Amino acid sequence: MRLSLIVNGQSRTLEVQPEATLLEVLRDHLRLTGAKNGCGEGVCGACTVLLNGRPVRACRLPAYKAIGQEVLTVEGLSLREKEIYAWAFTSAGAVQCGFCTPGMVMEAKALLDRNPDPSEEEIRQAFKGHLCRCTGYQKIITAVQAAARALRGEIKPDQGEEAGMGRRFFRPEAPAKVLGQAIYVDDLVFPGMLYGAVLRPPYARARLVSLDVSPALQIPGVVTVLTAKDIPGERYQGLIFKDWPALVAVGEEVRYVGDAIALVAAESPYIARKALESIKVEYEPLPPVTSPAEALAPGAPSLHPKGNVLSETRILKGNAEEALKSCAYVVTNTYRTPFTEHAFLEPESAIAVPEGEGLTIYTSTQGVYEVQEQIASLLGLPPEKIRVINQYVGGAFGGKEDLSVQHHAALLAWASRRPVKITLSRRESILVHPKRHAMEIKLTTGCDEEGRLVALVAEITSDTGAYASLGAQVLERACTHVTGPYRIPHVKIYGRAVYTNNPPAGAFRGFGVPQVTFACESQLNLLAQKIGKSPWEIRWINALEPGDTIATGQVVTEDVGIKETLLAVKEVFESSPYAGIACAFKNVGLGVGTRDIGRANLVIREGKVLIYSGAACLGQGLESVLIQIVAEATGLPAEKIEVVLADTALTPDAGITTASRQSLFTGEAVRRAASELARELKEYALEELEGRTFAGEFYGVTDPINSGKEHPVTHVAYGYATHVVILDEEGRVSKVVAAHDVGRAINPLNIEGQIEGGVVMGLGFALTEDFPVKEGIPQYQQMGRLGLFRFTQVPRIETILVEKGGTQYAFGAKGLGEIASIPTAAAVAGAYFRRDGIFRTSLPLEGTPYRRRKKEEE
């Protein structure tokens, strides 16, 4: 179809597919990549552009409907507008992963063009069609208000604070993200690039009887079709356990609906999809195993050679069962939490490019070295033949630790000897990548007459789905944290992770701890009621203090700050009859005896310090953290310091970005390297050190669970938090106060954004997000049905930063990314319990205004 458009003031005539959307035309034909494809459903707002000044969702608008109309993208803003919006969003801390931000900017422009001075409520209403999984929305509202004032000439953009510890230093990458200049994987195009697609089964469990790909090979434009027999190396991969086939072979069982059967590479996405439809497949459907109870039942089919139990964890401290007999009060309940979808705004994408005797993979991942190791194994190549380059990552939250598209793009590129891109649709993303574990937690908790905890017995069953992913490690973390940040002399914990034919479950922000915190904190609310103490008081008298031991036997030291967070929220909790409270603690680093190393090299080049580290930046602000650490150690200004994105050919292995570890682990590695540089700077100017490299490494030595040591070090550090949730008269959340012991606050602006985003994610976990699975098949396969919180639903969020001592590493910093979302759901449950007296034991909570509305919408 011949298409004539006016885009950013220029007339353009193009030949496009008749069914092309405006977004496809902008991105694929005009290379205007500021607008992003986050959902393809018109519900996330990442693709927002203006059509005759009106905001539209370009992913849903047929391109022909834009004929004769003025199309404006973020690239077409005036220089003054670009300066103001870049400053406003950066200074407000409204940019994290940045994938959704250009769409927000275009919505802001449309609003401010028609209303130069909108109220907060008008901003919320204008942005109700936008999703952001990172920021929690509050700072986006602040950004729009700042932009409005600047456009009216009332204020001028500034540069923020200088780099250094404790400074509200502006993220250096934020302006590029705001203006659509930051490059994400799907923004890249290579000469001769093919487009990959993956055939997946309609069943959660079935035997693959036959597979005929010859019809696909006959379609013009199809270059390569691959099946399991075409894999040159190890077909089964996985982060820890190698139990996940890159392609299911004929004669094998399909274990979930996201399994891969065949791969196609073609000259266009349209041809690739057409080729998939032509492949002839015969399945023998088998009854799926849809729950841990079914998987553990006598006679259940064995889903893996090792059986249906992935792992077990046992923790003993004292004699819990005997101690319960002496308790004045004992409560026992079984709690249930659902699968949850990560819903990062950037769908999975990878491009594999043949180079010499190997491949270069451009991707969006939490660990470039983990991708390198698995792809090298898959192709039967030495790791040095595989180069993995991380682009900007559009959100992850644990959901980009496993292979998703990288291995399939690599196989197709290796076979075709041409670059191959695979980008998942939102539906594919929901079907394919691991979720938060659904858990059943049976918990017995006992205390004495004064409310002092005496004993806890826990049995935790985790649905790890079709493949291991990080299920064993998530279970471990659930077991080590089910006691909460409390002094409990007697503990008995048993957990097991069970295979089913449900979607795999793996890492998700909090790593098993949000689930068990909901159970632990709910138990405390019941005990408080029984003994006649307030929910705050029972937490205060049991909160960990220096010298206490946790369930694993680790002694907490002077950096424990749970009591300080409780004091910080005492007044606000006691001022409302409808307030709920919950505490949490969360490990920093992999711990439990796992080899855990942060690394960084500082290279002096052209009068600047370049920070090389394989640590993945996911939107959490790692770039600014590392720059601030170097600035603090050396006294150098920020403009002399840059961060290089993770690249296995350039940056040292700093471990995967998980377990809230990078600020401490890679931060400490950078501090050590910067300390060496600082010593040299006492004698030499920076320019005189041209070409020098200063290397830093930090190894967090820990002990395994049940190591036999009297006082093991299970983790190098822990963060602590207390959240208070306040309901209004209608039963809606009106305010959340989140107090966090962060050690030393490297960048308060970043920390506030992390906490606000974590709180909103926790609110969704408590109230609206669900992921029902029937016969192994997810029932919600669209982003719009996931129940994600939106602008109009978010309450006021107040953050309180407690800087209690800190660690001995990274100038005292602790990790924060996970704990920000952990106590919220439990605090919400506590608030409703106080309001209506109904004790709820499953999430999302039933009988709230949020669930009633959701059911009506469905």
β-pairing, 358-363 with 386-390? parallel
Give domain status of residue 352, yes or no: no
Gap between the Cα atoms of 453 and 539, Å rounded? 10
Task: List C-alpha distances in Å: 322 to 449, 470, 489, 523.
Answer: 17, 34, 12, 19
Angle at 816 between CA 596 and CA 342, to 5 degrees: 90
Alpha helices in 533-640 (DSSP H): 535-542, 562-574, 622-634
Q: Say whether both 421 and 440 belong to one domain.
A: no
Q: Determine whether 125 is exposed, middle or buried from the number of CB atoms within 10 Å of its CB (0-12, 13-18, 19+).
A: middle
CB 50 within 8 A of CB 56: yes
The residue with tokens 């909103």 is 760
Gap between the Cα atoms of 645 and 610, Å rounded? 11
Q: Structure tokens of 665?
A: 């682990």
516-549 residue pLDDT tens: 999 999 999 999 999 999 999 999 999 999 999 9
Q: What is the pLDDT of residue 854?
A: 54
The contacts of residue 271 (CB under 8 Å, 6+ apart) are 195, 219, 220, 221, 222
Q: In this structure, how many other beta carbons lie within 10 angstroms of the beta carbon of residue 450?
A: 10
Q: Determine whether 68 is exposed, middle or buried from the number of CB atoms within 10 Å of its CB (0-12, 13-18, 19+).
A: exposed
Give domain status of residue 470, yes or no: yes
Q: Which of 155, 180, 205 finishes a domain?
A: 180
- DSSP element (H, E) containing 499: strand 490-499
Q: Say whether both 522 and 657 belong to one domain.
A: no
Q: Which residues pair with 443 in a beta bridge?
A: 333, 458
Q: Say whether both 626 and 718 belong to one domain.
A: no
* Exposure string for 779-791, b = 16+ CB within 10 A, e = fewer: ebbebebbbbbbb
Dihedral sign (CA 830, 831, 833, 834): positive
Q: Say whether both 845 and 824 belong to one domain.
A: yes
Q: Say whether both 264 and 406 belong to one domain.
A: yes
CATH of the domain at 31: 1.10.150.120
Q: Which stretches of the chain drop beneath a pLDDT of 70?
A: 852-858
CB 426 within 8 A of CB 344: no
Q: Which of 666, 699, 732 finishes a domain?
A: 699
Q: Which of 180, 210, 234 finishes a domain?
A: 180
Q: Say whether both 154 and 203 belong to one domain.
A: no
Supply φ then ψ for residue 162, to 5 degrees: -65, 160
CB 262 within 8 A of CB 279: yes
Give domain status of residue 294, yes or no: no
Q: Say whether both 103 and 214 belong to one domain.
A: no
Give domain status of residue 552, yes or no: yes
Q: Structure tokens of 542?
A: 């049991």
Question: What Rg do the C-alpha atoms of the chain give, in angstroms?
Answer: 26
Dihedral sign (CA 68, 69, 74, 76): positive
Dihedral sign (CA 37, 41, 44, 49): positive
Q: What is the pLDDT of residue 414?
A: 98
**Which DSSP string do the residues of 160-196 spell out, in sequence order?**
-PPSSTT--PPPTTHHHHHTT-SPPGGG---TT-EEE
Task: List C-alpha distances in Å: 199 to 278, 281, 509, 710, 778.
Answer: 10, 10, 29, 53, 17
Give domain status of residue 127, yes or no: yes
Q: Structure tokens of 17?
A: 């597919």
Gap between the Cα atoms of 96 and 618, Å rounded? 8
Terminus-to-terminus CA distance in the chain, angstroms?
Answer: 38
Q: How many domains does the chain have?
A: 4
Give domain status of residue 188, yes or no: no
Q: Determine whether 497 is exposed, middle or buried from the number of CB atoms within 10 Å of its CB (0-12, 13-18, 19+).
A: buried
**Which DSSP string do the residues of 61-128 spell out, in sequence order?**
SBGGGGTTSEEE-GGGS-HHHHHHHHHHHHHTT--SS-SSHHHHHHHHHHHHHH-SS--HHHHHHHTT
Q: Say whether both 618 and 758 belong to one domain.
A: no
Q: Structure tokens of 526?
A: 């019941």
Q: Say whether both 418 and 445 belong to one domain.
A: no
Task: List C-alpha distances in Å: 201 to 31, 431, 532, 724.
Answer: 34, 11, 56, 45
Q: Structure tokens of 595?
A: 């080899």
CATH of the domain at 612: 3.30.365.10
Give domain status of residue 189, yes or no: no
Q: What is the pLDDT of residue 851?
A: 84
Task: Name the E strands within 356-437.
Answer: 358-363, 386-390, 420-423
Q: What is the pLDDT of residue 374?
A: 98
Supply φ then ψ for residue 309, to 5 degrees: -105, 115
Q: What is the pLDDT of residue 804?
A: 87
β-pairing, 420-423 with 386-390? unpaired
Name the nearest CA neighbour of 57 among 20, 14, 21. Answer: 21
Q: Say whether both 668 and 747 belong to one domain.
A: no
Q: Say whether both 198 and 119 belong to one domain.
A: no
Q: Is 529 helix (H, G, I), strand (E, B) or coil?
A: helix
456-481 residue pLDDT tens: 999 999 999 999 999 999 999 999 99
Q: Say whether both 328 and 464 belong to one domain.
A: yes
Q: Is-cis flag, bond preceding 844, omega within 30?
A: yes
Q: What is the pLDDT of residue 415?
A: 98
Q: Structure tokens of 121?
A: 């409520």
Gap between the Cα atoms of 414 and 337, Å rounded? 42
Q: Structure tokens of 653?
A: 């292995």
Give domain status of residue 223, yes or no: yes
- Domain holding 80, by residue range, is 1-180
Q: What is the pLDDT of residue 806?
A: 86
Gap between the Cα atoms of 272 and 211, Å rounded? 17
